[in-house]
Structure 1
Amino acid sequence: MALLLALPSPNAIPLSFSGKTFGLYIITGLFGITLSYHRHLSHKSFKIPKWLEYIFAYCGVLAAQRDPIYWVSTHRYHHQFCDTEKDPHSPIRGFWFSHIGWSFDDNSTVEKCGKPNNVGDLEKQPFYKFLERTYLIHPIGLGALLYALGGFPYVVWGMGVRCVFLDHVTFLVNSVSHIWGKQAWNTGDLSRNNWLVAMFTFGEGWHNNHHAFEYSARHGLEWWQIDITWYVIRLLEAIGLATDVKLPTSAQKQKMAFNK
């Protein structure tokens, strides 16, 4: 649906909504996907109060990348079976499959890995089960709100353009960051650090770093590796909202180094 909404020529849509679109991109992409779905829910890289956890997770729902249980389960399987036949989205089956092809087959992950059994921590929480049952209502509701505020142009920019762009930059981590870039760590998979992907994904493109230390709240481990998500987590820690923030130790880095 988001793809169809994005089809009209941008020249036909007023640009006055572009700033608000970028704001929604930050809220849903940075806070919703990279901070909440990925680093917090998938990898437990830090702890935050439950009320804030649920707010950030709901931002992820509005990104229209499925509910937290589905997203987290798929991602955990990706790490468990990284770049093997059971990986839900590995480029060993081709660039197109790893980038977006896998998302068109809802049964692909189940066929490879069986029914999800790796998200018990989320399934026992009524909030996440509610989002799983009612997932579609929420992005559709956001679209209706945008239409009420600004008509069809707001829907095109706020849902179509935003969701398609966010989908593809997220998918770049699955495809490009497993094909092109540098490997700083001996992870035994195809993960790469790709600075260009990192620029668009709030730091997720430092993907070899992430696969080496998947529990780490920080992906840009070098000072020059820009990692916007990490800066937000660090700010939350500084004001007392984030605790138990995990980072790799020197011993863990030595263990993953190529030249031990």
Structure 2
Amino acid sequence: MTLEAAPPRTQTGTAPAPGKAPTTLGRTPAAETLLVGIFVAVPMLALIAAVPFAWGWGLSWLDVGLAFVFYVASGLGITVGFHRYFTHGSFKAKRPLRIALAVAGSLALQGGVIDWTADHRRHHAFSDKEGDPHSPWLHGENVAGLAKGFWHAHTGWLFTKEVTNQKRYTPDLLEDRDIALVQKLFPAIVVVSLLLPAAIGGLVTMSFWGAFTAFFWAGLVRVSLLHHVTWSINSICHIWGERPFAARDRSANVWWLAVLSFGESWHNLHHADPTCARHGVKKGQVDISAAVIRGFEKLGWASNVRWPTTRRLEKLSKPKVEAAAA
């Protein structure tokens, strides 16, 4: 059984602007690609150096605490904010929450809120087909093709991507003055994301070394770890894993990424029902992002949450034989 996934909605519940508007607007400028390379490579080098750095110079509980707080804040900004709210309209948010989610997601250094949302809506429009900015299945299905596809889906697409036409995919966000301002302030938010942990570490320890280690762990290492967890949803969760739900692509569930990704790795249900606010819908499937959205709903900050229903899940479920063979 196959079932077409619902098109991604905007916050108002409408699909991105259809019609003959081009999906992309040419290649990313060289200067921007260079900046992307810096913000990918520098945190990655810090992540590689993390183990010998901790062994040789130590890792304080302050560093651990700051890294944890900034990882959770920026990670949920991506999963709850950029993904489930801005991209798919899984719920409606009051203005302060909408702005806070846009800022929190920007702390992850994965691009501005409008850039990220436009790319992801285009991903869903062409998932695992030509036009998908980061499918791992467009280079062949042999070992060499999948290796190349894995690299492309995980990181390579950032250096070869075409600029998504935001007027086509994010007209709602372009017209939102608050979100347009957060997008414009993205460079300043990047600075805050990297230097605020250092400032806190320096003030608490009253030392430059405390500032440096906080910058290293809660700035660079935290950013790189979250980068790779997010990119793993593009790569790993479109190649390996279980597929109990009918989707139009090869999205899959990967259980061991669930906690680090705040529930995003229950990816098969998400692609089968993109606007659903909960991705981990089966017993034992931890979905921290859904729990946070539930909290926002109880506080009155979020409304019209699109929770899964038994009838909808039954309709999306594959027959057992088909699911086992997928």
TM-score over 0.5 (shorter chain): yes
Amino acid at match of 1:109: E
Matched residue, 1:101: 156
The match for 1:133 is 184
**Which runs of 5 or more structure 2 residues have no equivalent in the other structure?**
1-41, 139-148, 203-210, 321-326
Classify the secondary structure of the residue corresponding to 1:136. Answer: helix
Deviations 1:26-57 (A, max 9, x none): 11102x11010111111110112111111121
Gaps of 5+ in 1: none
Flag the 1:191–1:153 CA change in 2: closer, same or farther, 3 A.
Answer: same
Distance 1:257 1:7 in 2: 40
**Structure 1 residues 202-225: Cα deviation after superposition (integer angstroms, max 9, x where no partner):** 100100010111100010111211
Q: Distance in 1 between matches of 2:295 and 2:89?
A: 17
**Change in CA separation of 1:232 and 1:145 when aligned onto 2, cut-off 3 Å:** closer
Q: After the TM superposition, which residues 68-87 of structure 1 pair with which residues of structure 2 at under 5 Å, given as runs?
A: 68-87=113-132
TM-superposed deviation, 1:5: 4.3
Task: Identify which of 210, 213, 224 aligns with 2:273.
Answer: 213
Residue 245 of structure 2 is aligned to residue 201 of structure 1: no
Q: Which amino acid is the alignment partner of residue 159 of structure 2? A: F
Task: Check the 8 A contact 1:236/1:242 in 2, yes or no.
Answer: yes
Q: Does 1:3 align with 2:63?
A: no
The count of corresponding residues between Structure 1 and Structure 2 is 255
Asked if 1:90 corresponds to 2:90, the answer is no
Q: 1:15 aligns with which of 53, 59, 65?
A: 59
Mapped partners of 1:218, 1:23: distance in 2 = 23
Counting only pairs closer than 5 Å after superposition, residues 36-51 of structure 1 correspond to structure 2 as 36-51=81-96
The Cα shift of 1:192 comes to 0.4
Alignment of 1:223-242 (within 5 A): 223-242=283-302
Q: Which residue of 2 aligns with 1:166?
A: 226
CA contact (8 A) 1:5 1:159 kept: no
Choose which of 100, 110, 122 in structure 1 pairs with 2:173: 122
Task: Tell me the secondary structure at the aligned position of residue 134 of structure 2.
Answer: coil
Matches of residues 156-195 of structure 1 in structure 2 within 5 Å?
156-195=216-255
Query: Post-superposition shift, 1:101?
Result: 0.8
String of CA shifts for 1:150-203, please: whole Å, max 9, x gaps: 222111111110000000000111111111111111212100011112121010
Return the match for 1:63 from 108, 114, 123: 108
Provide the C-alpha distance between the structure 2 equivalents of 1:209 and 1:56, rounded to a whole number of angstroms.
23
TM-score (norm 1): 0.91
